[in-house]
């Protein structure tokens, strides 16, 4: 059983651009999940079926008086409703302020690697632009497919992801010419965030698939006389191949030319530990997906403080 205290080592480190990947198998194929998303591992238990649920939703179970939804990952990935084995495991996850269990066949172990060791998969392998493989990691001698669990849950339960209705609830908005840079590796969420920002009046956005690409672009602007017209605010996810959001935050806030830029961490992994870590690195604000309305209000506030709400 993996508990929160077992993950303390990685959570206490700041801006190292490393990730701990938990490797697990489905039909002997290797997959991975960020350890920061994992609460514990349990031997599979009896599950109560829920009518009219998504085909991959196995049902619910109730460990320690808390009801948790179980997603049958073999069914989701392979379309197979195979025999449930007593030796199967439940990986209990926590992200986007939700607890969800994923059925897997075995758990192999944990590898600590650099985000630079994680490559974006080819579109053919990933299943197109919006595939569920967020990266391919080299863990020792093995290639491990890192799954986009946020996208899996968003597909199974669309109501749990970004809702444009939250932008409508903000009322009439003025257009702002402030340039916002966004680092987000999920193609689906990147599109949704950009659409929400445009709808809220922030029409000048530049989207980047990881922290490294945003950092490269920021450096290309270094020394420009009109720098403050070229970037007003940065939004970053935490989990991204090549360079994660914490490393990006550290680089920005340690740089004399960039540290004045407001920076928001917008991630599914905002726990108390992660919030403390982000604060140590200098993030101006941190919030959990999918709270897009809250994100826009925070952008308003930070740009007004900086005198940049135009």
pLDDT of residue 136: 92
pLDDT of residue 308: 62
Q: Which positions ≥6 away from 309 have C-beta within 8 Å?
A: 176, 178, 300, 303
Alpha-helical regions (H) of 85-179:
123-126, 149-156, 165-168
pLDDT of residue 67: 94
Q: How many helices (H) and strands (E) does the chain have?
A: 11, 16
Of the ranges 157-161, 177-181, 191-195, 278-282, which one carries the lowest mean pLDDT score? 157-161
Task: Answer with the residue of higher pLDDT: 206 or 82.
Answer: 206
pLDDT of residue 123: 59
Query: What domains can be seen in the chain, in order of their start residue?
Result: 4-158 (2.40.50.180), 162-305 (3.40.50.2300)
Question: For residue range 173-228, what is the model confidence (pLDDT) as tens digits?
Answer: 999 999 999 999 888 899 999 999 999 999 999 999 999 999 999 999 999 999 98
Three-state helix/strand/coil letters over 232-294:
CEEEECCCCCCCCHHHHHHHHHCCCCCCCCCEEEEECCCCHHHHHHHHHHCCCEEEECCCHHH
Question: For residue range 8-26, what is the model confidence (pLDDT) as tens digits?
Answer: 444 445 678 889 999 999 9
Q: What is the mean pLDDT of residues 240-259?
A: 95
| CA atoms of 285 and 245, how far apart (whole Å) | 13
Question: For residue range 100-141, what is the model confidence (pLDDT) as tens digits?
Answer: 999 999 999 999 999 988 888 765 544 444 578 888 998 888
Query: What is the maximum alpha-carbon separation in the chain?
Result: 65
pLDDT of residue 166: 94
pLDDT of residue 13: 56
Encoded tokens for 164: 């444009």
pLDDT of residue 11: 42
Task: Answer with the residue of higher pLDDT: 121 or 55.
Answer: 55
pLDDT over 70 (residue 7):
no
pLDDT of residue 8: 42
Do 185 and 19 meet the contact criterion of CB atoms below 8 Å apart? Answer: no
pLDDT of residue 9: 45
| CA atoms of 56 and 232, how far apart (whole Å) | 42
pTM: 0.85
What CA dihedral angle connects 60, 65, 66 and 71, to 10 degrees? -30
């Amino acid at each position: 059983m993996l508990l929160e205290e077992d993950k303390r080592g990685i959570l206490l480190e700041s801006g190292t651009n490393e990730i701990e990947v938990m490797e697990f198998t489905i039909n002997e194929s290797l997959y991975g999940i960020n350890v920061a998303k994992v609460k514990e591992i349990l031997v599979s238990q009896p599950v109560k079926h829920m009518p009219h649920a998504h085909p991959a939703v196995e049902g619910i179970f109730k460990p320690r008086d808390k009801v948790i939804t179980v997603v049958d990952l073999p069914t989701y990935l392979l379309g197979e409703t195979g025999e449930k084995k007593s030796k199967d495991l439940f990986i209990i996850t926590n992200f986007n302020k939700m607890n969800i269990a994923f059925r897997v066949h075995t758990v192999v172990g944990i590898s600590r690697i650099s985000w630079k060791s994680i490559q974006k998969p080819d579109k053919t392998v990933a299943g197109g632009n919006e595939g569920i493989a967020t990266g391919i990691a080299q863990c020792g001698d093995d290639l491990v497919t890192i799954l986009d669990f946020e996208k899996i849950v968003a597909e199974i339960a669309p109501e749990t992801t970004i809702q444009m209705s939250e932008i409508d609830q903000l009322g009439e908005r003025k257009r702002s010419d402030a340039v916002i840079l966004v680092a987000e590796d999920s193609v689906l969420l990147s599109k949704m965030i950009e659409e929400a920002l445009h709808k809220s009046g922030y029409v000048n956005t530049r989207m980047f698939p990881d922290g490294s690409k945003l950092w490269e672009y920021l450096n290309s602007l270094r020394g420009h006389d009109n720098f403050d017209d070229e970037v007003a605010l940065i939004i970053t996810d935490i989990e991204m191949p090549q360079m994660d959001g914490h490393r990006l935050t550290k680089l920005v806030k340690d740089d004399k030319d960039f540290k004045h830029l407001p920076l928001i961490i917008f991630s599914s992994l905002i726990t108390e530990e992660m919030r403390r870590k982000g604060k140590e690195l200098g993030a101006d604000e941190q919030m959990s997906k999918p709270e897009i309305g809250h994100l826009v209000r925070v952008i308003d506030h930070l740009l007004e403080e900086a005198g940049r709400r135009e």
